[in-house]
Structure 1
Amino acid sequence: MGGAADAAVPAGTVILKSRVLVTDAEGAALLFFTRADAPANPTRWLTPGGHLEPGETHAEAAVRELFEETGLVVSEAELGDPVWAHDFVGEPAEGIRRSYHEEWYRLRTERFEPVDTNWTDDERVDVEQWRWFAPSELAATTDAVEPAGLAALVARLA
């Protein structure tokens, strides 16, 4: 769910999401270069993650989204407690603004190659590429990164 579905959510409703900061032994973060919901917004680098399904906890959504977007199978216990929470207002469709709350988890793992076997049709259109960013590369990139403070978060958690 995203874009049009988020735009259809009544104003004043907080949309819940979970994200996973996946890092390797050197602190490099796995990010996806993904088209934004509103065409006027830039394609940007972001972590695996997405919306909570009805009845899901943040941890359950993080485990599910990580599997769907990377093929990586982990347990809620492996993710542990959230390392950060992020509240923001986004634009799921041009001219429509909605409130979001994200719970962020961190997973340290060996570097791996994500698989797209479980991607949705939208992800197959929206995800342009993925890569591992060393903290210094993330801090130096001129590409759009979401959220804006992601480089500082990666450095703090490295």
Structure 2
Amino acid sequence: MTAAAGLRRTSRILLFDRAGRAFLMDTRAPSSDGFHRWITPGGGVDPGEDHRTAAIRELREETGIVIDDPGPSVWSWDFAVEFDQADHDAGHSEFYVVRTDGFELSATGWTDEEQTDILGWRWFSAAELEASGESFEPPDLPELIRRFGGVAS
């Protein structure tokens, strides 16, 4: 199967704890080779939504954290999608920063696809992510953790 033409807009949340670590989720990519990578919570912007509204919804659905305002977008990323089972061939992500004192992950808002595709989750400093040898997206994620986490790592 080849990727269909189209752009997918997503909102992503850089979710930080007091130590400046980012909460990341290990997720399967739409790829027949089983590729998976660490990414921030977030997902697609639904029809009629803006990025800010999608960030609020996605954070609630994927973590159970309820917020009123994620603040302004702090970074954006335009990228080509090369996974062979993707339904789009390009993406645009807007990133928002949210801080938490900790939380208990709730999967009650997960879609059936997320129930299958989310393999795990944990907190990472930039150095831990780089040292892990694991794949992650976007490629600038360690730098984003350093820049917006508020704590040197």
CA distance in 1, matches of 2:30, 2:123: 23
Q: CA RMSD in A?
A: 1.9
Superposed CA offset, 1:23-81 (max 9, x none) = 011101000010001123621100000001100000000000000000000012xx100
1:18 aligns with 2:11: yes
Please give the TM-score of this superposition, normalised by the length of structure 2: 0.89
Q: Label 1:151 to 1:41 Cα distance change in 2 as closer, same or farther (>3 A).
A: farther
Residue identity in the other structure for 2:107: D
Asked if the contact 1:139–1:152 (Cα under 8 Å) also holds between the matched residues in 2, the reply is no
Which structure 2 segments of 5+ residues have no match?
Answer: none
Q: CA deviation at 1:109?
A: 1.1
Of Structure 1 and Structure 2, which has the larger fraction of its residues in helix? 1
Which residue matches 1:30?
Answer: 23
Q: CA deviation at 1:135?
A: 2.6
Which residue matches 1:118?
Answer: 109
CA distance in 1, matches of 2:50, 2:86: 30
Residue identity in the other structure for 2:31: A
CA distance in 1, matches of 2:32, 2:142: 24
Which residue matches 2:67?
Answer: 74
Asked if the contact 2:11–2:42 (Cα under 8 Å) also holds between the matched residues in 1, the reply is yes
Which residue matches 2:147?
Answer: 156
CA distance in 2, matches of 1:41, 1:21: 25
Which residue matches 2:89?
Answer: 98
Which residue matches 1:128?
Answer: 119
Asked if the contact 2:7–2:91 (Cα under 8 Å) also holds between the matched residues in 1, the reply is yes
Give SS of 2:82's match.
Answer: strand
Please give the TM-score of this superposition, normalised by the length of structure 1: 0.87
Deviation larger for 109-118 or 26-35: 109-118
Q: Label 1:84 to 1:41 Cα distance change in 2 as closer, same or farther (>3 A).
A: farther
Which structure 1 segments of 5+ residues have no match?
Answer: none
1:147 aligns with 2:133: no
CA distance in 2, matches of 1:136, 1:123: 27
Give SS of 1:21's match.
Answer: strand
Kindly, what percent of the aligned residue pairs are identical?
43
